């Protein structure tokens, strides 16, 4: 792509800032380690009186270090520091779970390994910088040397030969990964993405990647900033409406879940696809995001190629929406994840009222509704849909609670496209839905 060289330069700049921030924060981690060591030498592993001002309590450092460790875990893997990323994630969990940080030996051991890994990165970066400076000095022409100096490479092929880099993962200090996005560079109109994240490094990294795709990006540092940005888009200003929102969850002022709920309640913005980008990978967080209306869920640390692919898929498949009305939320999430991994847009609901609202608000290409869905149930919802002029012909599957033929026959006779036992493996349900999606495509 024509943006490749510029992207590599921007990515290198963001990586350099990450290493710089790591060096700025390392003394704080060392300070916490020194406090632990001092208390251990004194044999004082009990709570220090708040009145003592001689030395700070470890808890004074725990909260800001936990937040910073969260950011490091998300950025380190992107730049090829997989060991540091794993240690940062483990340290974040230790800091969050520790009841008494001073006496938590596992926390102290993790902290020590994290500091060691961070020091190694800083030392390697310093060596690379020193070697680069020496090379530049050696390459400088003498005062009376009028020989032509070779110009720096300006095309991607030459850059691949000279720049420190790798095609899959960074294994050497200073290595930079350039994702292969040729599958997504289709020459279509410029895509506008609103990125909502309080981590400046994450925003800059995504900005570089989207610019390489020829996309435009607007940045917001919190959920509240995102809402204000959308209000600007709705007015007569020059800010255009985003095609998609990439939203972090852990943010100040207003977190991603709260912002997501407010956006989906607005008729002006509810149709904008929203992908959650966060370090939370618990099932409960995913369920909450899906139920509120998230299109997809990406966990940090993330890969730029994966982000580009998921954004492209979410936009390309907006008309191919599948509505899932599931009484069992865990099963619904598993089915949603499988469909989303195949590039299908999914709307997950867990009540008949929400399912009816989703059907009327944005007619899906296919719907799968549990017969035992909370509220009036799937069969009553089916009857209402078949009497609605806009819904009478959509493919609508009824998930039956058993494999008895009578239940399936009753669903089909009531107007369902099919009756499917909900106990069947997700792979079978996805295959059936894909077949209906294919048949629903024009032509």
Give the model confidence (pLDDT) of 286-345 as tens digits. Answer: 777 877 888 888 887 777 888 888 888 777 765 578 899 998 888 888 888 888 777 778
For residues 45, 66, 89 and 208, what is the CA-based torsion angle, rounded to 10 degrees?
-160
The confidence score (pLDDT) of residue 431 equals 87
Q: Which of 118-122, 214-218, 239-243, 346-350 has the lowest mean pLDDT?
A: 239-243
- Return the structure tokens found at 105: 């030996």
The distance from CA 120 to its chain's CA centroid, rounded to whole angstroms, is 28
User: What number of CA atoms fall less than 13 Å from residue 239's CA on the CB side?
Assistant: 15
The confidence score (pLDDT) of residue 425 equals 85
Answer whether residue 223 shows pLDDT above 50: yes
Contact 245, 225 (CB under 8 A): no
The residue with greater pLDDT, 334 or 134, is 334
Q: How far apart are CA 156 and CA 4, in angstroms?
A: 7
Class of domain 194-316: alpha beta
Reported as a single tens digit per residue, the pLDDT across 152-195 is: 443 434 433 433 333 333 444 444 444 554 445 444 457 889 99
The residue with greater pLDDT, 12 or 55, is 12
The residue with greater pLDDT, 48 or 220, is 220
Answer whether residue 272 shows pLDDT above 90: no
Average pLDDT over all residues of the chain: 76
Answer whether residue 28 shows pLDDT above 80: yes
Q: How far apart are CA 231 and CA 233, in angstroms?
A: 5
Q: How far apart are CA 140 and CA 292, in angstroms?
A: 60
The residue with greater pLDDT, 47 or 415, is 415
Q: How far apart are CA 263 and CA 242, in angstroms?
A: 13
Provide mean pLDDT across the span 391-414: 86
pLDDT-based confidence at 234, cuts 50/70/90? low
Answer whether residue 146 shows pLDDT above 50: no
The residue with greater pLDDT, 67 or 55, is 67
Domains 194-316 and 319-443 belong to one CATH topology = yes
Q: CATH for 319-443?
A: 3.40.50.2300
Q: Quick one: how many helices (H) and strands (E) in the chain?
A: 15, 12
Contact 15, 164 (CB under 8 A): no
Q: Where are the domains of the chain?
A: 16-136, 194-316, 319-443
> 415: phi > 0 → left, psi -120 to 50 → alpha, else beta; which?
left
The confidence score (pLDDT) of residue 57 equals 52
Whole-number percent of the chain with pLDDT over 70: 74
Answer whether residue 142 shows pLDDT above 50: no
The confidence score (pLDDT) of residue 147 equals 41
Measured CA distances, 243 to 37, 133, 209, 319 (Å): 52, 44, 17, 14
The confidence score (pLDDT) of residue 305 equals 82
The confidence score (pLDDT) of residue 187 equals 42
The 10 Å CB-count burial string (b at 16+, else e) for 394-432 is bbbbbbbeeeeeebbebbeebebbbbbebeeeeeebbeb
The confidence score (pLDDT) of residue 138 equals 60
Residue-by-residue DSSP string for 403-434: --HHHHHHHHHTT-SEEEETTS-HHHHHHHHH
Provide mean pLDDT across the span 392-397: 88
Contact 78, 179 (CB under 8 A): no
């Amino acid at each position: 792509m024509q943006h490749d060289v510029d992207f590599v330069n921007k990515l290198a700049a963001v990586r350099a800032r990450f290493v710089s921030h790591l060096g700025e924060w390392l003394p704080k981690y060392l300070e916490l380690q020194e406090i632990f060591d001092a208390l251990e030498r004194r044999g004082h592993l009990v709570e220090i009186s708040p009145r003592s001002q001689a030395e700070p309590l470890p808890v004074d450092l725990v909260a800001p270090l936990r937040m910073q460790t969260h950011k490091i875990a998300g950025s380190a893997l992107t730049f090829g520091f997989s060991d540091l990323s794993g240690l940062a994630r483990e340290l974040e969990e230790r800091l969050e779970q520790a009841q008494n940080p001073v006496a938590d030996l596992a926390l102290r051991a993790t902290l020590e390994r994290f500091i060691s890994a961070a020091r190694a990165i800083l030392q390697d970066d310093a060596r690379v910088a020193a070697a680069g400076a020496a090379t530049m000095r050696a390459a400088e022409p003498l005062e009376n040397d009028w020989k032509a100096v070779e110009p720096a490479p300006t095309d991607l092929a030459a850059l691949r030969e000279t720049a420190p880099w790798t095609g899959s993962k960074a294994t050497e200090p200073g290595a930079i990964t350039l994702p292969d996005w040729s599958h997504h560079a289709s020459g279509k109109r410029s895509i506008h993405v609103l990125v909502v994240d309080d981590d400046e490094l994450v925003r800059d990294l995504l900005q570089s990647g989207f610019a390489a795709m020829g996309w435009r990006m607007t940045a917001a540092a919190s959920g509240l900033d995102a809402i204000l940005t959308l209000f600007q888009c709705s007015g007569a200003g020059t800010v255009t409406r985003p095609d998609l929102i990439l939203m972090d969850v852990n943010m100040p002022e207003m977190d991603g879940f709260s912002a997501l709920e407010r956006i989906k309640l607005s008729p002006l913005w509810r149709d904008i696809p929203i992908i959650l980008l966060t370090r939370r990978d618990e099932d409960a967080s995913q369920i909450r995001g899906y139920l509120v209306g998230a299109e997809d869920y990406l966990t940090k640390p993330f890969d730029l190629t994966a982000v580009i692919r998921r954004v492209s898929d979410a936009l390309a498949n907006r008309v191919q929406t599948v509505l899932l009305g599931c009484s069992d939320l865990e099963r619904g999430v598993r089915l949603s994840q499988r469909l989303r991994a195949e590039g299908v847009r999914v709307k997950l609901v867990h009540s008949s009222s929400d399912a009816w609202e989703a059907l009327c608000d944005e007619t899906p290409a296919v719907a799968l509704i549990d017969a035992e869905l909370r509220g009036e149930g799937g069969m009553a919802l089916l009857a209402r849909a078949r009497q609605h002029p806009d819904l009478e012909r959509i493919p609508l599957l009824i998930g039956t609670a058993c494999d008895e033929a009578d239940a399936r026959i009753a669903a089909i006779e009531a107007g369902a496209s099919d009756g499917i036992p909900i106990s069947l493996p997700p792979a079978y349900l996805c295959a059936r839905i894909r077949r209906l999606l294919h048949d629903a495509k024009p032509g």
